Amino acid sequence: MPHHFLPRFSRLAPALLALLAAAPSCSKKEKEPDNALPSHSAMPGTGTSAGAIEVKPPVPTTGNNSDVPTTKDKPLPPESAERTEAGPKNATGDEIPPEERPKIAGKVAFISERDGNREIYVIGADGKGEERLTKSPHADYNGPASPDGSALLAIRVEGEEGPQQLLLQPLDGSPPKPLGPLAGRVRFPTFSPDGRFVVYESNGGKVDPAHFSDLYRVNSDGSGFRRITKNDEGNFEPAFSPKGDAIVFISSRDRVAELYRIRPDGSDPVRLTNTPRDEWGARYSPDGKVLVFVSDREGADRIWLMPSSGGEARRLTQMRPAPRIVEEKPTWSPTGKRIAYALRVPEESARVGLVAMEDGKETFVRAPGGTGHVGEPAWSPDGQYLAVTVTRGSEQQIWIVRADGSGMTKLTSSPGGNWNPIWIPPRKGKGGK
């Protein structure tokens, strides 16, 4: 879906239309118009999928020094590695036993289509207490939970081309609170670490319209709406530093999608990457020292690491740079000890990779029985478990798995699509889950 204002930014189009990236079985080359109704392959939100662009020459890394952790300097797999897995072991193991599951902290929010409409549901990690959180005739998409575990962000889409509304949805089931105005696009909402305000990508609606997309800020009580970036070429995908003193985001202001950093009030913009290729999907490590992001600087979508202050970038994995192999949706564990990501390889089932930052050891999480696609990894609050989506044909269900890749356990079982898991931390001060 090329954008008229910036042809080279077209590879990010699906990301900018996604709440999370496409379901594992979807093609990265699928395109949709800007005003398309969000679907499994394109929803408003926080995804990092990418489309295709023209081949450009290789680009050197951005700097000379780095303290970024990386995998061991192993030789790249041979040409045949495009369809094999040399080195990392596949995850195996029985289900998480019933006596262990009630001890898993937090709940999982997800989107379900069981009622013929996209609604947000919540379920305990033990598979109990499943309940429908939203009850709207429109499509609702779940965003991240508040730091105190009392609410989550949601995006409501009215019809195929209707307005979109950012909402604060309390987890006690009480009515949602609008945040910011109705707009033509609402994407990538994220709480500040203290939960006092939200930053997201939007066109601003009629209140403070952007040329295409800018970053906006609004207090969690709905007050204080304002724009914090202003570039006609677009600003996208905000993510907070752990201390809340900085926001990393994508900007195409220099005619290519690069990573930038600003203060929470929009001041002091700093360009962090500088390549003729695209970067996207950046997230801070829990200690704030490292950024993980996706880049096609070698001609293929790969996950990279770099100091959050800028500097030399390094590859996370040693998967060879074949363009049809896609690494996407990297996410740090809360402890910073692992990174989970989604991997798509031609003619194979998609899976989730788990990389240990200490030694670079990698484990793959596959669908039980080896059939189906695994994607959309989301960490539990303590970093001991992951929730993932398993897709088999038209069926999609939420599963949980231990952080070492063992104990694949089915969490949902209703017909239709159940997808986009987001873990909710235990509510502070309530003593419950």
- Which pLDDT tens digit goes with each residue over 171-193? 998 999 999 999 999 999 999 99
Q: Has residue 109 got a pLDDT over 80?
A: yes
Whole-number Å distance between alpha carbons of 152 and 175? 12
How is domain 7-50+96-424 classified at the CATH fold level?
A: Neuraminidase (2.120.10)
pLDDT digits 0-9 by tens, 394-428? 899 999 999 999 999 999 999 889 999 999 999 87
For 1, 4, 172, 222, 235, the CA distances from 252, given in Å and listed in that order, are 16, 13, 40, 29, 7
Determine the pLDDT at residue 333.
97
Q: Which residues pair with 340 in a beta bridge?
A: 331, 354
Mean pLDDT, rounded, for 251-256: 91
pLDDT digits 0-9 by tens, 208-248? 999 999 999 999 999 999 999 999 999 999 999 999 999 99
Nearest to 218 by CA among 108, 16, 205: 205
> Is 328 within 8 Å of 20 (Cβ atoms)?
no
Whole-number Å distance between alpha carbons of 397 and 417? 7
For residues 15 and 114, the model is more confident at: 114
Nearest to 352 by CA among 319, 375, 378: 375
- Give the pLDDT band of residue 322 (cuts 50, 70, 90): confident
- Give the pLDDT band of residue 34 (cuts 50, 70, 90): very low
Determine the pLDDT at residue 99.
95
User: In the predicted model, what is the mean pLDDT of the chain?
Assistant: 81
* Residue 82, phi then psi, degrees to nearest 5: -60, -25
pLDDT digits 0-9 by tens, 122-136? 999 999 999 999 999
Written as one letter, the residue type at 238 is P
Q: Which residues pair with 91 in a beta bridge?
A: none
Termini Cα distance of the chain: 42
- Record the pTM: 0.81
The helix (run of H) or strand (run of E) holding residue 177 is strand 177-183
Whole-number Å distance between alpha carbons of 146 and 429? 14
Q: Has residue 66 got a pLDDT over 80?
A: no
Determine the pLDDT at residue 21.
30
Q: Which residues pair with 134 in a beta bridge?
A: none
Q: Residue 222 contacts by C-beta under 8 Å, 6 or more apart in sequence?
A: 168, 177, 178, 179, 180
Task: Specify the 3-state DSSP secondary structure of 79.
Answer: helix
Q: Has residue 393 got a pLDDT over 50?
A: yes
Query: For strand 89-90 and strand 362-365, is the pairing parallel, antiparallel, or unpaired?
Result: parallel
Residue ranges covered by each domain of the chain: 7-50+96-424
> Is 403 within 8 Å of 365 (Cβ atoms)?
no
* Residue 102, phi then psi, degrees to nearest 5: -65, -15
Q: Has residue 15 got a pLDDT over 60?
A: no
Determine the pLDDT at residue 94.
85
Q: Has residue 32 got a pLDDT over 80?
A: no
Q: Has residue 1 got a pLDDT over 50?
A: no
- Give the pLDDT band of residue 337 (cuts 50, 70, 90): very high
> Is 233 within 8 Å of 223 (Cβ atoms)?
no
- Core vs surface per residue 116-141: b (16+ CB within 10 A) or e: eebbbbbbbbbbeebeebbebebbbb
Q: Has residue 23 got a pLDDT over 90?
A: no
At CB < 8 A and 24+ separation, what contacts does 358-362 make?
358/69, 359/72, 360/70, 360/71, 360/72, 360/74, 361/88, 362/71, 362/87, 362/88, 362/317
- Core vs surface per residue 343-352: b (16+ CB within 10 A) or e: bbbeeebbbb
Whole-number Å distance between alpha carbons of 77 and 262? 38
